[in-house]
Amino acid sequence: MPRPPESQGNPPEKLWGGRFSPEGGRLAEAFTASIGFDRRLWRQDIRGSLAHARMLGAAGVLAREEVETIVEGLGRVAGELEAGTFPYRVEAEDIHSNIELRLTELIGPVAGKLHTARSRNDQVALDVHLFLRDEIPGVVRRLRDLQTVLVERAETDFGRVMPGYTHLQPAQPVLVSHHWLAYFWMLERDRGRLIRAWQEADRLPLGAGALAGVPYPINPDQVGRELGFSRRYANSLDAVSDRDYVLDFLFACTVLMVHCSRLTEEIVLWTSQEFGFLELDDAWATGSSIMPHKKNPDPAELVRGKTGRVTGNLMALLMTVKALPLAYHTDLQEDKERLFDTLDTINACLQVLAGLLATARLRPEGLERALAGSVITATELADYLAERGVPFREAHRLAGQVVRHCLERGISLQELAPQTLAGFSPDFGPEVLARLDPAASVARRTSPGGTAPRRVAEQIALCREILVLDPLTPSEAAAKI
């Protein structure tokens, strides 16, 4: 059968044609149509319709032959959608109506029975629930890939010492591995948030009808079983009005993007000439059109920049839902572009970040330069005195005087003579000098979760235990710390 050309010829009659005059305003039509983006839900829409039709058959609402015809017809529609030959029509507004219209063309008026005991309001809610359940596992796997890269980096860079910062001022030395692993744990919490978002999407809204329920002997639990939902909504008004599950996903992605933004900000800093801690592989950097010497971290900057749009998507949907009376309003159609954009952005950013980090090269000479001649181990002086019974406040004051002495002379703590130190406090013995080496300072921070190499090695082992678990199940391994 020749396919009608897209959006040409006589517009088909609207699904609500009984009440409205046929000449609809073209502008209103184009403005209202969501087919340009919600076509992405076609798989979920077909799956939901198949389950609904079978349930109507089992409930005796439709005859067996009618269900068979509808199921066979939906299969043909799905074939066209899959093959890219489906005739999308803007006049049919959205993916739900487009599919129903095509089904009618293929199997005739019996197609009109598919929408018995269903509204587009519970249909679209079902599609989005299914979509999130389909897509979240992919996000979690990409997040897990990034976690794997962080652990591999922690292993490769093990033993390297860097300045740890507070206020972006050198604070205390830490292992580079410790720094990488801090991001591993941030992502591990993101993984938990994504899994909880998946669980929130795991609730069946179909059966709510337009808003009030339906007057047919339907069995939502059959639909739920076929589609693999573990529970359903208890209130039909809530079922069609709820977008919390989309917000939960957008929030989980926003926090994840904020973490990616912090990491990429550090990559931008570390690859600067001034820090010089890290060098990006050429594939993950770009040059300048005018300055031949430049090597810019554009992909990292873009990940940082895209945090704005992901956060904006969350804000946009929050504002859409705010003050929206029950039940369905077309405002809710605005959820989809926000959702798709966040999903695509997060998937791209996670992959870019994993590739970029896996191939970046640590620059030990930059780390050494940042540590050499510094007073970054001054806390050791205070801790040393405190161990000998000097109240920590007093110990801190004395160590501060030593720091000032060094800064005035432009020398590092390690360059101090033992007798100079003893001049500040008789409690300073010559063995304190060995503690002022950054690596020695790191090795002494053995408290649980501290940066001492043996503690970081424990962390790596724990991360490895987590990495072999199925990323989609909440992990208990962290409880073993």
- For the annotated catalytic residues, the residue numbers are 167, 288
Residue 22, Cβ density class (10 Å: 0-12 exposed, 13-18 middle, ≥19 buried): exposed
Q: Which is nearer to ligand ARG, 111 or 327 (CB)?
A: 327
Preceding peptide of 327 cis, ω within 30°: yes
3-state DSSP call for residue 314?
A: helix
Provide the residue type at 287 as one letter.
G
Judged by phi (left if over 0) then psi (alpha if -120 to 50, else beta), residue 93 lies in left
Name 173's bridge partners: 163
3-state DSSP call for residue 445?
A: coil
Residue 398's nearest CA partner among 426, 435, 430, 438 is 426
* Minimum distance of ligand ARG from residue 316's CB (angstroms): 15
The whole-angstrom separation of Cα 301 and Cα 260 is: 11
Q: Which is nearer to ligand ARG, 259 or 338 (CB)?
A: 338
The whole-angstrom separation of Cα 145 and Cα 322 is: 36
Query: Which residues, at least 6 apart from 318, have a Cβ–Cβ distance to it below 8 Å?
Result: 247
Cα-Cα-Cα-Cα dihedral of 447, 449, 452, 456, to 10°? 150
Residue 226, Cβ density class (10 Å: 0-12 exposed, 13-18 middle, ≥19 buried): middle
Q: Which spans of this chain sit near ligand ARG (rule: CB under 6 A)? A: 34, 38, 94, 120-121, 124, 328, 330, 332-333
Residue 462's nearest CA partner among 188, 190, 259 is 188
Whole-angstrom Cα Rg for the chain = 31
Sequential DSSP letters for 28-92: HHHHH--HHHHGGGHHHHHHHHHHHHHHHHHTTSS-HHHHHHHHHHHHHHHHHHHHT-----GGG
H or E element that contains 227: helix 220-227
Q: Which is nearer to ligand ARG, 177 or 333 (CB)?
A: 333
The whole-angstrom separation of Cα 275 and Cα 268 is: 10
